[in-house]
Amino acid sequence: MNASTPAPAELAIKDPDYVDSLERGLSVLRAFSGREEPLSVADVATLVGITRTAARRFALTLEYLGYASQSAGGFKLAPGVLEIGDAYLRSDPLPDAAYPHLQELVRAVGETASLTVLHQRRVYYTARVAADRIVTANIAVGTSVPAYSTATGRVLLGGLAPNELEGYLSSIEPDSGFDPDYVREKIAEARERGWALADQEMTRGIRSVAVPLRDPEGRIVAALNIAAHATRVDITALENDLLPLLQSAAQRTVGALWPSSGAAPARSVMAPVHNARPIGRPTDAIQSVERGLCILTAFDEGHPAMNLAQISERCQLPRSAARRFVLTLVSLGYLAAHGRNFAPTPRVLELGYSLLSRISLADVAKPRLEALARKLGASVSIGVLDGMDLRYVARASSPSPLTVNIRPGSRVPAHRTAMGQVLLSLLPPGSLQDAPRPAGGDDAGDSLADLADMLERVREQGWSYVDQLLEVGIRAVAVPLRNRRGEVVAAMSASVHEASAGDLELTSSFLPALRAAAAEFVMDLRDGLDA
């Protein structure tokens, strides 16, 4: 919000259409987003400046929506809250276009790379590939930082018109860490060179270099950056070695977004993923919060921007009500107007996406796994490759006289499990040379050939079934888990003792259920989620 934009409190007074209760509800959600520990109703009331009664109603509404959970310690964010930020990331083609080039860049340089955009006074990280390093910057997708303090921010600020830039600089409150003349100099330098460098300015020990992404009209719409610890990369290496690779990644990203053919690559369009309501609707739930958050989560690949009529239809709201909520969200900075259409802004990521850095895949997967285990009467697991082993990262079991006693963290030879076979089948050619040989072959070469043949069958059919291969009496069927880009990042299996289900039941009943569940997992497998 720039200096000329009225504050929300002023809008609430001046505009009769402003939905004040929605603003307070979003403030409650931001209060949860900024804390790792549970908050009591009294804590929420104090942080937001509302009564305890109102704080309780807002918290219960968020719990009903699946965005918060309640325990003896109070309320805290639930994994379901990530769907709000997902709506922004799905509606913007930039993160998907940049991600494969960020991955390639990180493989080449061994340092973390990110995509950032500018919104109001801050830089938001909207895609990030972290290098496998012990020490790296504590930044995740959804993190925002002051624009003037970073290399990527100076590149983005260089795209502002002179009056916009001066308005931005004059709006920053003076403090010991802000020198407007120095920032002006660095922004002008970035404009002239076409890139910017920051040496331990925002975070001691971190150096970064950034380049702009420009649309076909030459406007700066985003920036790519590489961040490295100062002990690993000096300024010379940053400029001479890393910068050219970063510039190449930026060119490829722009080429993917705006190819010379004029047709951008198609994106997979999926129905919005809404969380099942974990509890019944409280009698004093706040409808304005439900409606406002429905609007924010209605955007996706197929609906990156919508007009009032489309929003009204997707959220099943009267058009007059949709208009009030949309205008309120615009005034708060969560939606931006583009002619008659509206689109979410990066500020949406502030509504709970910080949780991504504090949870694991197991946390997000737990409700779905438990539901599937109950449905099948089986043990359901998620696993990832760890070398040539399979590591279990999440597991749920239904009550049964016989159970498969494997816990998260357990490692077993991948080729002896259904999940491991699914994941091994998707490895690049030549990756199996170091794999353990299957039992039963007299010749090592024949054993490896047998393994390769078996994995080829698994790859072609897209699933694997094993019968008493890992443990006598245990049968399992597994399918791959893909993220929204179609990348396989894990596998999921259902396993039972042979006394509980016949082999035909696993492929005729369990397999379709696993495939359906895998489709629901698509949005759970987010970038940056730790297995």
pLDDT (mean) for 197-208: 85
Residue 327 predicted with pLDDT over 90? yes
Q: Give the least confident one: 45-54, 164-173, 302-311.
A: 164-173
Share of the chain above pLDDT 90, in %: 49
Lowest mean pLDDT among 92-106, 163-177, 224-238, 480-494: 163-177
322, pLDDT greater than 90: yes
What is the average pLDDT score of the chain? 85
Write down the domain spans for the chain: 8-78+278-356, 89-257, 360-524
Question: What pLDDT shows up at residue 181?
Answer: 87
Radius of gyration of the chain (CA): 25
Give 333's pLDDT tier (boundaries 50, 70, 90): very high
Residue 11 has pLDDT above 80, yes or no: no
CB atoms within 10 A of CB 188: 13
Give percent above pLDDT 70 in the chain. 84
Residue 444's pLDDT band, with cuts at 50, 70 and 90, is very low
Q: Could you tell me which residue, 56 or 496, shows the higher pLDDT?
A: 56
The answer to whether residue 194 scores a pLDDT higher than 90 is yes
Q: Are 76 and 271 in contact (CB under 8 A)?
A: no
pLDDT band (50, 70, 90) for residue 495: confident
Q: Residue 263 is encoded by which pair of tokens?
A: 């047709």
Tell me what the mean pLDDT of segment 8-23 comes to.
Answer: 71
Rounded Cα gap, residues 312 and 112, in angstroms: 41
The DSSP string of 224-266 is EEEEEETTT--HHHIIIIIHHHHHHHHHHHHHHHS-TTS-PPP
Does 3.40.190.10 match the CATH number of domain 89-257? no
Q: Pick the range with the lowest mean pLDDT from 77-81, 253-257, 343-347, 500-504.
A: 500-504
Q: What is the pLDDT of residue 439?
A: 46
pTM: 0.81
d(CA 312, CA 300): 15
Q: Do domains 89-257 and 360-524 have the same CATH topology?
A: yes
From 262, 322, 276, select the one nearest 80 (Cα to Cα).
276
Instruction: Average the pLDDT over 142-146 and give the result.
Output: 89
Say what the pLDDT of residue 180 is. Answer: 85
Report CA-CA distances (Å) from 456 to 393, 452, 494: 25, 6, 21
Angstrom distance (rounded) from CA 289 to CA 121: 26
pLDDT in tens, 46-99: 999 999 999 999 999 999 999 999 988 899 998 889 899 989 998 999 998 999
Check residue 176 and give its pLDDT: 61
Is the domain spanning 8-78+278-356 CATH 1.10.10.10? The answer is yes
E strand or H helix at 446: helix 444-461
pLDDT computed for residue 411 by the predictor: 87
Residue 475: pLDDT band by 50, 70, 90 thresholds?
confident
Q: What is the pLDDT of residues 260-298, one digit of tens each?
A: 755 555 555 444 445 555 667 788 889 999 999 999 999
Mean pLDDT, residues 104-117 taken together? 93
H/E element, 289:
helix 287-296
Least confident of 81-85, 459-463, 504-508: 504-508
| Average pLDDT score over residue span 205-225 | 93
Contact 236, 206 (CB under 8 A): no
Q: Is 286 helix (H, G, I), strand (E, B) or coil?
A: coil
What is the token pair recorded at 136? 């790296």
> Any idea which residue has 């129905």 for tokens?
271
Tell me the C-alpha to C-alpha distance, in Å, between residue 442 and each of 438, 447, 448, 449, 467.
Answer: 10, 8, 11, 12, 22
pLDDT of residue 138: 67
Which residues share a beta bridge with 214? Answer: 220
Q: Which two tokens stand for residue 466?
A: 């094993």
* pLDDT value of position 267: 57
> Which secondary-structure segment (H or E) carries 26?
helix 20-33
CATH of domain 360-524: 3.30.450.40
pLDDT at 221 (0 to 100): 95
